[in-house]
Structure 1
Amino acid sequence: MFDFDPTDLPPVVQTTLDYAAQGKELALSWLLSPAAWSQFALLILAYLAARFVSKRFVPRLEVWLRPAEGATGLLSEARGFIALFLPLSLALLAYLFTGIGEAVTRSIFGSGAVIALGKRVFLLLAAQALVKDIIRDPFLKLLGKYVLLPVMGLYVLGLLGPVETWLAVTEVGAGNIRFSLMSLVRGLIAGVLLFWFGRWSTGRSRSYIGKQEELRPATRELAVKASEVFIFGVGFLLLMNIMGINLSALAVLGGAIGVGLGFGLQKIASNFISGIILLLEGQATVGDYVELDGGEAGTIVKMTARAAILETYDGKWIVVPNEDFITTRVVNYSDSGSANRYEAPFSVSYDTDINKVPSIIEAAVAQLDFVLSEPDGPDCELRGFGDSGVDFCVEFWVNGIDDGRNKFTPKVLFAIWNALKDNGIEIPYPHRVVEIKGADLKLSGQGAETL
């Protein structure tokens, strides 16, 4: 076949030429074989039949599967999920009809290589439709484009078996752990899929658990963390099993991780355990407004395995390690909607009958719709005698935090101002009386006029 000696060529080129020669001989045998032509005819017939069935019945099936607008429920979601795969119908029907034709051909001619190749081509077309029309997740689409389709291409050409054999016999190792390239590739693909599925599962479980309003916020957060640990733990065990790695071989690696936790990862381990303690005890959870010794204050919007995220009322996010909630003093203003007491200080003139002030202010503050009567109504107290006036303070209870969206104290101060003005009570301002003792001063000229 060749005008030169193929043994002088590199091994890769020799292998390629061998496959080319085999392909040429196979193509010639198919062109001269009546059985091959009959299989080609069956392939065309199977495709036409699949096209007819797909065009006739799939639109009706799609109308039936598509859930009504606004419909909810498990059955509607299941029907909608099945409807997503309708673009595969043509290729899968052709694959099914080709399989029937292959059985007929093998029973008559004793061979079915041509129709088997066509069946694999239809399966490749189904995989291409899956990646192009069905998968919407960017990560899965990338995985299908660069992993699934090349594998299907090797399967169609009949090269998947030899490639698997070569990957299986080629081994790599790290220390006492040795595994084949096939295990590495299989583990890489499975690991990527398991990680994506784990992220998707945790997102779904978080959404479901978050809707259980009868559970306390801390209990819901603990359930979410437990589900995440369970899902990723099962995924890790499955990945080790898929790669064929004996878990007992990881004992050395586990010891190294233990040493790392004792030194470099000590803080991470401490924060992780502190987060579990916080969730179990419910001392602080999502929705609480807290203030730490370090000055950090805000509403807890998220609790992760390492830290809690506080959102201040000016829109900033503060990441606070979980350990700080255990080892330092934390002021928790309790869950959203709980009652808190605040004070509004003010002063009146010394000319005022101070005995009337408490009743006037308490009545004015009590009229505000956000001021609570329980556990106690407004309480106006005399606090002291200042330099410019008599100091008072009114205490009041409200639901929520006096900051950000809820500015309670300014409204109370407005009510105090209006009540004092309506009752003719003067609010003092700072002033000083200067008395000069000593000899009489003689002032003349410009200085006297200035004085």
Structure 2
Amino acid sequence: MGNQPDIIIKLWGWVEPGWTLAQGWLLSPGAWSQFALLILAFYAARHIAQRLQPTLDRLITPPEGKAGLLVTARLFARRFLPLLLPVLAYALTAVGEEITRSIFGSGAVIAFGKRAFLFLAARIFVREVLTDSFLRLLGRYVLLPVAALYALGLLDDISARLEETVIALGNIRFSVMALIRGLIAGSLLFWLGTWSNRQSTDYIKKQEELRPATRELAVKATEVLIFGAAFLLLMSIMGIDLTAVAVLGGALGVGIGLGLQQIAANFVSGIILLLEGQTTVGDYVELDGGEKGTIVKMTARACVLETFDGKWIVVPNEHFITSRVVNYSDQGSANRYEAAFSVSYDTDINLVPAIIEEAVGKLPFVLRHPDGPDCELKGFGESAVDFAVEYWVNGIDDGKNKYGSPVLFAIWNALKEHGIEMPYPHRVIEVKRAAAKAGA
């Protein structure tokens, strides 16, 4: 090998230990016995798995039409049945390794087979057990390479080499292994935090006995706790001193105070809104600035209003605290509306209130509580007597409900039925002739 290029010599330096080990296995009677034990363990595990898997499948599979936490847990456990064969092979191989080491004093071949079965289990786990796309991607490019290196016996050497490789950024020094460990742990913690937040949000929103504002506050508090704990745990895994994080947090606090005042104000305002519960998702509100609509979403920074025509208006939370807000539908309370009309001066106006109140009261959406329809005399106009009927309904008179139009139809039909005229404007024009000129 002395006359070969450097690259060939380096490659041979890597391959030579494996070639020497393979020759030793092929020429050793103990190695052949270990190969036989590996084959025996595999076929024994395969036989046991073929007999055991149908029974386990039948026991774990829940009855059709059932639901609940136990059913979800059983369905989750059922996904791990494909791992039965490699796990059994690993366990039987571990027993064979103990027997081989006690007889021959070595068990390198069977230990390699045991690690190979573990790699097979990892491969099946990634391909058949994992259903989440992110976890499957992480398993394909992280778990499988690690399991392969472990099976080949190279994991410890590569880990030690990565620990020795140090990256320096100013006064901060960390190893490549710590960086890789942090990236993997950060990815897993981010996924776990997102999944936990999604599950807790679904659970909290199903608690109908809580006020909507209380549910939103619980959702936000849970989100902060989950991702805050994930961040602190990640810092601990990466070996970063939390004292430095506290100093960094103080610097960020100063930056927020100087340059991000509006964002901080909106965040605090959002917490106040959720705590007070005066406005919540589903309420129809109108602000001093003219924005009005139904609150469809409340975030840490702003509230989203949906108008009658389907547009979304994003209103910063601070506006709900510093300006006047009219809430038309606080927790589904009733709202009062008014419909104006006029009748002729020839009408017996004493009969009008009873006629209109009866007609409006027959409409299915008009409430009797807190008060029924109330028709009042408003004044005497130039051409007609002015009336208005007040009525209560549940909800807002918007594009979906349209309370005003049916009420006006009912007023019109009732007046026509009783022969009451709704007059046109009248104008009396007096024409004065000029006096004949004297001496004409």
Normalised TM-score (structure 2): 0.93
Runs of at least 4 residues of structure 1 off by over 6 A? 433-439
Contact 2:263–2:301 at 8 Å: present in 1 too? yes
Please name the residue that 1:289 is paired with: 284
> Of the candidates 368, 376, 379, which is equivalent to residue 374 of structure 2?
379
Contact 1:177–1:249 at 8 Å: present in 2 too? no
Contact 2:329–2:396 at 8 Å: present in 1 too? no
Residue 435 and residue 101 in structure 1: after superposition, are their counterparts in 2 closer, same or farther (change >3 A)?
Answer: farther
Please name the residue that 2:197 is paired with: 202
Q: Hey, what's the Cα distance between the residues in 2 that align with 1:427 and 1:92?
A: 89
Deviation of 1:214 after TM superposition, in Å, equals 1.9
Map of 1:16-31 to 2, 5 A cutoff? 16-31=11-26
Q: Hey, what's the Cα distance between the residues in 1 that align with 2:36 and 2:424?
A: 105
Deviation of 1:240 after TM superposition, in Å, equals 0.5
Map of 1:249-398 to 2, 5 A cutoff? 249-398=244-393
Q: Deviation string for 1:208-237 (max 9, x for gaps)? A: 112222222222221211111111111111
Map of 1:116-127 to 2, 5 A cutoff? 116-127=111-122
Deviation of 1:360 after TM superposition, in Å, equals 0.9
Contact 2:329–2:395 at 8 Å: present in 1 too? no
Deviation of 1:431 after TM superposition, in Å, equals 6.5
Q: Hey, what's the Cα distance between the residues in 2 that align with 1:39 and 1:431?
A: 115
Q: Percent identity?
A: 68
Deviation of 1:434 after TM superposition, in Å, equals 6.3
Deviation of 1:370 after TM superposition, in Å, equals 1.5
Q: Does 1:183 align with 2:178?
A: yes
Contact 1:289–1:336 at 8 Å: present in 2 too? no
2:259 partner SS? coil
Contact 1:299–1:312 at 8 Å: present in 2 too? yes
Please name the residue that 2:38 is paired with: 43
Q: Any stretches of 5+ residues in structure 2 without a counterpart?
A: 435-440
Deviation of 1:382 after TM superposition, in Å, equals 2.3
1:114 partner SS? helix
Contact 2:278–2:330 at 8 Å: present in 1 too? no
Q: Any stretches of 5+ residues in structure 1 without a counterpart?
A: 440-451
Q: Hey, what's the Cα distance between the residues in 1 that align with 2:312 and 2:80?
A: 42
Residue 102 and residue 268 in structure 1: after superposition, are their counterparts in 2 closer, same or farther (change >3 A)?
Answer: same
Amino acid at match of 1:273: V
Q: Deviation string for 1:92-132 (max 9, x for gaps)? A: 11111111111111111111111111111111111111111
Deviation of 1:438 after TM superposition, in Å, equals 6.2
Contact 1:302–1:308 at 8 Å: present in 2 too? yes
> Of the candidates 64, 69, 74, which is equivalent to residue 69 of structure 1?
64
Contact 1:291–1:298 at 8 Å: present in 2 too? yes
Deviation of 1:29 after TM superposition, in Å, equals 1.2
> Of the candidates 397, 413, 418, which is equivalent to residue 413 of structure 2?
418
Contact 2:340–2:386 at 8 Å: present in 1 too? yes
Q: Hey, what's the Cα distance between the residues in 1 that align with 2:78 and 2:137?
A: 23
> Of the candidates 26, 51, 62, which is equivalent to residue 56 of structure 1?
51
Q: Does 1:137 align with 2:136?
A: no
Q: Deviation string for 1:23-67 (max 9, x for gaps)? A: 111111111111111111111111111111111111111111111
Q: Hey, what's the Cα distance between the residues in 2 that align with 1:305 and 1:178?
A: 36
2:332 partner SS? coil
**Aligned-CA RMSD value:** 2.1
Contact 1:336–1:400 at 8 Å: present in 2 too? no
2:398 partner SS? coil
Q: Hey, what's the Cα distance between the residues in 1 that align with 2:131 and 2:369?
A: 54
Normalised TM-score (structure 1): 0.91
Deviation of 1:348 after TM superposition, in Å, equals 2.2
Q: Hey, what's the Cα distance between the residues in 1 that align with 2:136 and 2:433?
A: 95
Please name the residue that 1:128 is paired with: 123
Residue 310 and residue 28 in structure 1: after superposition, are their counterparts in 2 closer, same or farther (change >3 A)?
Answer: same
1:22 partner SS? helix
Amino acid at match of 1:415: A
Q: Hey, what's the Cα distance between the residues in 1 that align with 2:176 and 2:356?
A: 82
Amino acid at match of 1:36: A
Residue 4 and residue 354 in structure 1: after superposition, are their counterparts in 2 closer, same or farther (change >3 A)?
Answer: farther
Amino acid at match of 1:52: H
Q: Does 1:172 align with 2:167?
A: yes
Q: Does 1:33 align with 2:32?
A: no
Contact 2:274–2:280 at 8 Å: present in 1 too? yes
Residue 109 and residue 293 in structure 1: after superposition, are their counterparts in 2 closer, same or farther (change >3 A)?
Answer: same
Q: Hey, what's the Cα distance between the residues in 1 that align with 2:132 and 2:275?
A: 35
Please name the residue that 1:94 is paired with: 89
Please name the residue that 2:207 is paired with: 212
Residue 434 and residue 87 in structure 1: after superposition, are their counterparts in 2 closer, same or farther (change >3 A)?
Answer: farther
Q: Hey, what's the Cα distance between the residues in 2 that align with 1:107 and 1:80?
A: 42
Amino acid at match of 2:209: E
Q: Hey, what's the Cα distance between the residues in 1 that align with 2:170 and 2:321?
A: 40
Deviation of 1:17 after TM superposition, in Å, equals 2.7
